[in-house]
Amino acid sequence: MNVDIKRLISSLILAIGLILFFWTLSNNNINLAMVVFTGTLILWLMYAILLEYFDITTFARLLSAAGLLLAMAVFFLYGVEELPYPIGAFVFHTSGIAGALGIGFFSILPMVFLYQLDNSAKQEKTVPDKEIIPEEESLLPVIESDDWEFATEEELQSEEWETA
């Protein structure tokens, strides 16, 4: 199958799932919205794996974006309540806010892991294979005396000579 057609069908699956997700949320039916949400992700994942179109970075981004959408939905459905009197008043519920923050935090984790893997791969590429020792930090001592002579072959074999 052509890559453009694969990408088009993949985007179509996600677009239809997103439309159904918002439609069920507009009816204040969070349970059905989560079923649509999860079903869309599973359908997209099966499609991508079966047609060998799966990419882990795309999946991590998709999972993070979908999780953040779900966190915002939970926040607005359970964290904020509009009161009729006084006009324009809101009540914030800590249980809804905590749930939304928890979902948001866990949805960011795939991107954090992906970022960490990218950084570790970049660091491995920049580490040199061999350590280059500059001339100044040579392991041989620097002798600044002019009072020296070359060692003969016999002296080198006997190992009875001094360096300084």
Query: Mean of the pLDDT values across residues 117-137?
Result: 67
Does the pLDDT at position 143 exceed 70? no
Q: How far apart are CA 161 and CA 37, in angstroms?
A: 82
Model-level pTM greater than 0.85?
no
Structural domain of 33? 1-54
Indicate if 60 and 118 belong to the same structural domain: yes
Q: Which of 45, 44, 42, 24 is nearest to 33 (CA)?
A: 24
Specify the higher pLDDT residue, 161 or 111: 111
Indicate if 97 and 109 belong to the same structural domain: yes
Quick one: pLDDT band at residue 71, thresholds 50, 70, 90?
A: very high
- Tell me which H or E stretch contains 82: strand 80-83
Indicate if 59 and 125 belong to the same structural domain: yes
Indicate if 48 and 75 belong to the same structural domain: no
Please list the residues that pair with 83 across neighbouring strands.
89
Check residue 41 and give its pLDDT. Answer: 94
Question: Which amino acid belongs to residue 58?
Answer: T
Q: How far apart are CA 50 and CA 29, in angstroms?
A: 32
Q: Is 88 within a domain?
A: yes
Q: Is 143 within a domain?
A: no
Indicate if 66 and 38 belong to the same structural domain: no
Q: How far apart are CA 29 and CA 33, in angstroms?
A: 6
Q: Is 163 within a domain?
A: no
The answer to whether 92 touches 80, Cβ cutoff 8 Å, is yes
Give the helix ranges, DSSP H, for 3-131.
3-26, 30-50, 56-74, 94-126
Indicate if 63 and 50 belong to the same structural domain: no
Q: Is 121 within a domain?
A: yes
Chain mean pLDDT for the chain: 84
Indicate if 59 and 30 belong to the same structural domain: no
